[in-house]
Amino acid sequence: MEIREVGKENVGDLFVPCGPNKPSYIREKDYISSLWREERVNLSFFKKFGFEETDITLFGTIKFIIKKHREDAEPPELLTPALSHIKMDDKVVVEIIRDNQCPYIRVWENKLKDVLKEFDNKILLKEYETRNRDEALKFGMSTVYVDGEEPFFGSVDEKEIREKITEYLKRKGLI
């Protein structure tokens, strides 16, 4: 294994790829963007290479950082999906959003589906596949919604899935 020193020209190599044959960060006209998590690498490391924090935080712990190519570049804005979540009083609704950017959703959704079988007819499962820009604007990126909320980030194990689904079932008085 080759260990390379990280410099301004290859700092993007630190980011985890988001999908097959995709670069490890999003190149926009005015900036490079990525998600950053404190427990992986201290933010000061990225600041040495010109990255800045934005006001965007995901799941309470993940910061969106950018490196501007121009000083007057505007920071990005996250688009809010236009998906209207299914609402039911007698079932917990699980909605899986899949896209071609994140291969991990396909891996762990099988674990999710296996756990959901344990709860029999108390769950409504709805799946959406995002194939183009219009669908991405409607459904959003790969994720799982439970009763309209996103309780998971990344791949989770069966125990965590079971605990979260049980929590939602208890909220509705279904167990």
How far is the CA of 106 from the CAs of 4, 99, 111, 118, in angstroms? 32, 9, 10, 20
Taking only the tens place, the pLDDT of each residue in 63-114 is 778 888 777 877 677 777 889 999 999 999 999 998 877 777 777 888 999 9
The residue that leads in pLDDT, 116 or 7, is 116
Phi (first) and psi of residue 160, to 5 degrees: -65, -40
Predicted local confidence at residue 27, as pLDDT? 42
* Tokens describing residue 34: 């990525």
Task: Give the Cβ contact number of residue 5 at 10 Å.
Answer: 5
Q: How confident is the model at residue 171 (pLDDT cuts 50, 70, 90)?
A: very high
Q: Tell the CATH topology of 92-171.
A: Glutaredoxin (3.40.30)
The residue that leads in pLDDT, 10 or 136, is 136
Taking only the tens place, the pLDDT of each residue in 118-157 is 998 999 999 998 888 788 888 888 889 999 998 987 678 8
Does 25 score more than 60 pLDDT? no
Does 2 score more than 60 pLDDT? no
Domain regions of the chain by residue span: 11-68, 92-171
Question: pTM here?
Answer: 0.69
Predicted local confidence at residue 45, as pLDDT? 81
Does 18 score more than 50 pLDDT? no
How far is the CA of 32 from the CAs of 44, 125, 146, in angstroms? 17, 36, 32
Predicted local confidence at residue 101, as pLDDT? 73
